[in-house]
Structure 1
Amino acid sequence: MGIYRDVILPKLCDLSMRNERLHPYRTRVIGAAEGRVLEIGSGSGLNLPFYRADVREILALEPDPALLAMARRVPHSEMPINFIEASAEAIPLDDNSVDTVVTTWTLCTIPGAATALAEMRRVLRPEGKLLFVEHGLSPDHGVRRWQDNLTPIWRRIGGGCHLNRPIRLMIEGAGFRIDRIETGYMRGPKPMTFMYEGSARPK
């Protein structure tokens, strides 16, 4: 689940494997988290240093045990972190039990993304929020055609990553109300870099 975010996207953006260009996204999205936070597809822990003092606890959900092992070695603040080896399609948490759900470059790879979003809504408190930054379907016809044509092979080489998922429609279709959304291309190949960044709440 964290392969695109942790490996492929940084490589596309910077051949030296540094990911400074993603830092502004992480700073804005993760910096808005508060309370008890569930991070979906936490991967190797790249987001952990970006959480602020408003966070009481982090629940880092990741299905890949190797990535979880890497995340446990990442330096971070003293806030409690519980690493959970599980899938987003079956989150092992009670209903209405978290204040914030964070997803960063993850929805593209989850096989059952609609089920995962329904699970995120289930575990969020009624006043909770979903914070997201994702890449997905472009509004430009020419780019969309490339995304559609590339996705079958890209899924095989990119850890299941879909280039053409309509992120906003997926979030709204799962019973969320978008509070804020910003879209646009970041630097890099356009089929891979159309970004959706924002927040949503359960309806």
Structure 2
Amino acid sequence: MTENADRDNASFFARGWVVASPMLERFGLFRARRRLVAGLSGTVLEVGAGSGVTFEHYPPEVTRVVAVEPDPHLRAHARRRAARVAGEGARMSIEVVDAVAEALPLADGEADAVVFGLVLCTVPDVPAALAEARRVLRRGPQDCPGAQERPGAQERPGAEDRPGGEIRVLEHVRAPGRLGRFTDRIAPAWGHVGGGCRPNQDTEALLAEAGFDVAALQTRPFPPMVPLMPMLTGASRPLGTYAP
């Protein structure tokens, strides 16, 4: 498939998603999105913002949202929704930018959280996207070798003593057993009409391979409309330490 055909296919999917999304929200995604961002604060990078349906769910402790959306149709919808949320009195700033998951538009350690909501199934290079997420996350004391041994480190509570940033995920994943084998068979056709979506992706394994702690992630049933793909949900932090 040519690059132009890929772009046209994604645009076709984007138009369909804008129509279908409100119905899916009523079937359970509304509550799932609220859980996705509950408890966040500071600067949040949202990857694959789509039409901006998550914006209204951010808690008041979030002061800044940088929302990445490469599809121009979805990006236009997201910008209108961001303006609507601002007009309703939200104090956070929302910037919707044209960028991709593999090249996130924040500096190292700038984000308190990175949010992935129904997007990793379409990202061409998931390991690169997760490496970028880890790069932009705020580092905690456990991420900086020798930080706790510095003179006075234990006596100076403050921002530098907070845990490192986290990612939040709401991603459909391959179902187990017979349903999973069925999604394996339909994956090529599904991706063709679904903007490159991979219905049989093992996102939890990809997160673990990228160095994220997956112990607290849970798999929940998807709303009844699409029972083939359960949802992987929860929060995760990077394991290990960053290079000094």
CA deviations on 1:44-98 (whole Å, 9 max, x unpaired) are: 1111111111101000111112211111111212311112110111112211110
More strand per residue: 1 or 2?
Answer: 1
Superposition pairs for residues 1-203 of structure 1, below 5 Å?
Answer: 7-8=16-17, 11=20, 17=23, 19-20=25-26, 21-74=28-81, 75-76=84-85, 77-126=90-139, 127-138=164-175, 140-178=176-214, 180-186=216-222, 187-191=224-228, 193-203=229-239
What's the CA shift for 1:8? 4.8
What's the CA shift for 1:19? 1.8
Q: Scaled by the length of structure 2, what TM-score is found?
A: 0.75
CA deviations on 1:20-59 (whole Å, 9 max, x unpaired) are: 2211101111223221000000111111111111101000
Identity fraction in percent: 35
**Uncovered stretches (5+) of structure 2, i.e. residues with no partner:** 1-9, 140-163, 240-244
Contact 1:2 1:41 in 2 (8 A): no
**Uncovered stretches (5+) of structure 1, i.e. residues with no partner:** none
Aligned residues: 198
Contact 1:62 1:84 in 2 (8 A): yes
Compare CA radii of gyration and give the structure with the larger one. Answer: 2
- Partner of residue 159, structure 2: none
**Aligned residue identity for 1:115:** A
**Helix, strand or coil for the counterpart of 1:190?**
coil
Assess, with a 3 A threshold, how the Cα gap between structure 1 residues 103 and 3 changes in structure 2: closer, same or farther: farther
Q: Scaled by the length of structure 1, what TM-score is found?
A: 0.89
**Aligned residue identity for 1:189:** V
